[in-house]
Amino acid sequence: MIIADNVKRVRAEIAEAAAKSGRGPKDITLVAAAKQNAAESVREAVLAGVDAVGENRAQELAEKSSQGAYEGAPVHFIGHLQTNKVGAVVGRCSLIESVDSLRLLESVSRRARLLGIRQDVLLEVNIGGESSKSGVLPGELDPLLEFAAAESGLRVLGLMAIPPVFAPNGSSRYFFDEMYRLFVDMRGKKYDNVDMRLLSMGMSSSFIDAIHSGSNMVRVGTAIFGGRA
Ligand SMILES: *Cc1c(COP(=O)(O)O)cnc(C)c1O
């Protein structure tokens, strides 16, 4: 049961990092980033007690869902979502972490209203300003929050980021700190339908740093499942 052992180890590391920043293990949500891993492996991770499973592609989500991979755990969508795939994701994922444009936010909201639900989302921020990455720039967040405030199909629960890997000082700490500042700033604004309480940042090689900076949701793939093909 390598996956179960990995989950246990990651949990222990999360608990230690959380304690260093004055929080408890339950304050951090562990999302198993499951892309390219088989339904059977995902099921092992769920049984080992991860809080949620993250998927990057609508196709994989549908396949593994029909194979019963997620039973017992909520699923988050964490990859780049094309507007023509919104129908396969809205209402099937408890949280869409990767809303990266106003157009996508509009599309998600329209679909959710059609289904008569309110979809929980995070807004993805391109904190490093990298042209290769998805996400809105910090200065573009307010229009999205203003839009969400008037929508019955949405609830914005926080922010998500994938900072540059090779930050100037060799870690992502600078960008994690910047994200935390932005999160606190946005939390202070009172928009309807916005409840800024989740800050999703940190992956296998960075979740400890991310937690030290204030992350309360980490998305961990290889440290749980091993290397991807
Ligand atoms: C793959 C992925 C992760 C996890 O990456 P690891 O380095 O394998 O832990 C986290 N977030 C997103 C959006 C991903 O695509």
User: By alpha-carbon position, which residue is closest to atom 7 of ligand 1?
Assistant: 204
Backbone angles phi, psi at 183, to 5 degrees: -60, -45
- The model carries a pTM of 0.97
Q: What is the extent of the structural domain holding 57? A: 2-224
Q: How far apart are CA 129 and CA 134, in angstroms?
A: 9
User: In angstroms, what is the span from residue 111 Cα to ligand 1's centroid?
Assistant: 26
Name the token pair of 80. 């780049």
Structural domain contains residue 176: yes
The confidence score (pLDDT) of residue 166 equals 65
Decide if 13 contacts 56 (C-beta within 8 A). Answer: no
The confidence score (pLDDT) of residue 103 equals 97
Helix extents (H) in 102-218: 102-115, 141-149, 173-187, 207-212
Backbone angles phi, psi at 102, to 5 degrees: -65, -40
Q: What is the CATH number of the domain that holds 174?
A: 3.20.20.10
User: By alpha-carbon position, which residue is closest to atom 13 of ligand 1?
Assistant: 78
User: In angstroms, what is the span from residue 219 Cα to ligand 1's centroid?
Assistant: 6
Per-residue pLDDT of the chain (229 residues; tens, 9 = 90+): 799 999 999 999 999 999 999 999 999 999 999 999 999 999 999 999 999 999 999 999 999 999 999 999 999 999 999 999 999 999 999 999 999 999 999 999 999 999 999 999 999 999 999 999 999 999 999 999 999 999 999 999 999 999 987 655 567 789 999 999 999 999 999 899 999 999 999 999 999 999 999 999 999 999 999 988 7
222 Cβ inside 6 Å of ligand 1:
yes
Helix extents (H) in the chain: 2-20, 39-47, 58-66, 102-115, 141-149, 173-187, 207-212, 222-225
The confidence score (pLDDT) of residue 169 equals 59
Number of folded domains in the chain? 1
The confidence score (pLDDT) of residue 129 equals 92
Structural domain contains residue 229: no
Structural domain contains residue 9: yes
User: In angstroms, what is the span from residue 207 Cα to ligand 1's centroid?
Assistant: 11
The confidence score (pLDDT) of residue 172 equals 79
Decide if 174 contacts 136 (C-beta within 8 A). Answer: no
